Structure 1
């Protein structure tokens, strides 16, 4: 007998589709449940069955060898109209299944027991069921086990939907934060274009820091572990921000070991390298002099990290140039960032260029 459609079919299907589970690949988490259900109940067939609009689709099955069947042969479509647990000890003796082709076959499905799978808002979406080719009756222990395994199926589905919803929310938050930081950066650059020479340097320094924070936020969002940042990806992105202001006569090169750090150390390192590169671009290569800026980040077996920033510019030849207020602030910020890493900055100016180095211990 073909089961009637539930009165709340539209709401029920909407609840099912929210799980985004239909037509997905087989997964061990669900395969293990049907295998255990079949073994506990002593039957040949077990299925995690989801009732779609015109088919029943199996997320996991043992003993059937197919992934879906039409609704007109579905026993489970009757179950979602009735109690939370249904047992049909002899399908040929039951009016709901007595004329079902799958039960009339030889050998046919002669036994059925299923526990309802319900969404959080109470809509039936399918069953965890067991079947056999012989009439039988489950013990109370077997019935309880099947109900428990059904709850485990829904816990797994609900957990996946929650994680997906959280990921969507994180993407939305990321989009809004990124837009906000870009707006601040654009505003700072607008003021910079209208400022005098001294104030322009200050505005440019602020813009660099806002851009670095924006990149750090992006790296944290994309990282596999929310609280770690891969420096081999983060530092080149910071350098790319400075590329527009880098003359063709200057090349920036990076040599970075695969090192992951927390958001605090990443922010400090980002500030240090961006300040060094910005100052080198501005002062190390006057009059179109060609040269290179090198950023090297090396890890050691004892989890120490050494950062070396160097250029092959004029170096000590520019030592007599007076330091501007913005540069002085930049040096203090770099020293403060190094302090956050638990180390001190070593600066050196020679005839071969300028360098900055520091070594810190990974947590």
Structure 2
């Protein structure tokens, strides 16, 4: 017998759709719950069944190879009409299940018990159910346990929604921050056109580099589903592209970054180090518009250790000794602080072939590249 529609079926289906769970990949949190339900209840089958308009789909299953059934085969569509656990001790003796295709023929399902999965608005999404090929009856402990586990399933579903909403809000926040920083960068550029003092211009250039790097960081974070980790190679590549776009034409850039996952603070520190090296090379390494090249390479040394090497082929040791200006002193202090924040080590040198900066640090972020939309 096909079950009657739920009295608020349209609203119920909308609630189910809002969870965005249907046809999703398997998740261990749900797999563990059906395994536990089967073991506690002593049944061969356990399912997390979500009841749609024309099918029931299984988010998790143990003891059954199918991912879904038609609504005509659904016992859970009867269960969602109940306020409590729906139990059929022998499916062939109950008129609601006696003609169900799954309950007749070869190897029929003879037992069913389902605890409703109730959403925040009180509407049922489906059930956590247990089934077997022989008649059966839950004892009081098993009934209570099935109810507790069903509520845990619902909490996991709600948690997925909360995390998804958090990711949306975080992406919107990163988008707004990025736009604000880009506007601030434009203001700095406009203001710099009215400044004649070289030291002040240099300070504004340093400020703008940092604003642009952080804006790029928030652009990257905007597509990371709310995580505080990013694809470091992609982000550092964007930073290099931005630096090249603002560099004199006689200077070329080359970079290669090994795949790495970075926390946002790690990414910001590496971007600052690269930006300061590039700015210093542009200013001092290539006098009189001498053609030259600036490189940045990030290498995976294995066992979570990485090496960032920045070089230029400028005048290097041939540069005249000069007192550091105030902005340059600030830049060196920031690079030193960035290296310290990375818990890394640094080595800077001038050679006849140019200048070189090497940073070695360990990655303490997850090893998987975060997915982007």
TM-score, normalised to structure 1's length?
0.80
Which one of the candidate residues 327, 336, 339 is aligned to 1:338? 336
Give CA-to-partner distance per residue, 1:129-185, whole Å, 9 cap, x none.
223343332222222232233223223222222222222222111111111111111
Give CA-to-partner distance per residue, 1:219-262, whole Å, 9 cap, x none.
56667995667765554432221111334432334476777776
**CA 1:225–1:338 in 2, change beyond 3 Å: closer, same or farther?**
farther
Alignment-derived partner of residue 279 in structure 1: 280
- The range that moved more, 96-105 or 48-57, is 96-105
Separation of aligned partners in 1, 2:9 and 2:107: 33
What are the within-5 Å matches in structure 2 for residues 254-333 of structure 1? Answer: 254=255, 263-264=264-265, 266-295=267-296, 309-315=310-316, 319=320, 327-333=325-331
Residue 308 of structure 1 and its aligned partner are, at CA, apart by: 5.8
- 3-state secondary structure, aligned to 1:237: helix
- 3-state secondary structure, aligned to 1:53: coil
What are the within-5 Å matches in structure 2 for residues 33-44 of structure 1? Answer: 33-44=33-44
CA contact (8 A) 1:41 1:138 kept: yes
- The range that moved more, 110-119 or 244-253, is 244-253
- 2:166 is the alignment partner of 1:166: yes
**CA 1:193–1:41 in 2, change beyond 3 Å: closer, same or farther?**
same
CA contact (8 A) 1:304 1:359 kept: yes
Separation of aligned partners in 2, 1:91 and 1:314: 87
- 2:217 is the alignment partner of 1:212: no
Root mean square deviation, CA, Å: 3.9
- 3-state secondary structure, aligned to 2:43: coil
CA contact (8 A) 1:88 1:113 kept: yes
Number of equivalent positions:
360
- The range that moved more, 70-79 or 296-305, is 296-305
**CA 1:100–1:162 in 2, change beyond 3 Å: closer, same or farther?**
same
- The range that moved more, 172-181 or 1-10, is 1-10
Separation of aligned partners in 2, 1:90 and 1:20: 34
TM-score, normalised to structure 2's length?
0.78
Q: Which has the larger radius of gyration?
A: 1
Alignment-derived partner of residue 132 in structure 1: 132
Separation of aligned partners in 2, 1:26 and 1:245: 47
Alignment-derived partner of residue 179 in structure 2: 179
- 2:48 is the alignment partner of 1:48: yes
Separation of aligned partners in 1, 2:63 and 2:360: 61
CA contact (8 A) 2:170 2:226 kept: no
Give CA-to-partner distance per residue, 1:46-90, whole Å, 9 cap, x none.
322111012222223344443222223322212211222111223
Residue 186 of structure 1 and its aligned partner are, at CA, apart by: 2.0
Q: Which runs of 5+ in 2 are unaligned?
A: 365-373
Which protein, 1 or 2, shows the higher relative CO under an 8 Å CA cutoff with sep ≥ 6? 2
Separation of aligned partners in 2, 1:101 and 1:303: 55
**CA 1:218–1:334 in 2, change beyond 3 Å: closer, same or farther?**
farther
Q: Which runs of 5+ in 1 are unaligned?
A: none
- The range that moved more, 86-95 or 193-202, is 193-202
Separation of aligned partners in 1, 2:345 and 2:27: 51
**CA 1:196–1:161 in 2, change beyond 3 Å: closer, same or farther?**
same
Alignment-derived partner of residue 246 in structure 1: 247
Residue 43 of structure 1 and its aligned partner are, at CA, apart by: 3.3
Separation of aligned partners in 2, 1:7 and 1:223: 40
- 3-state secondary structure, aligned to 1:21: coil
CA contact (8 A) 2:167 2:225 kept: no
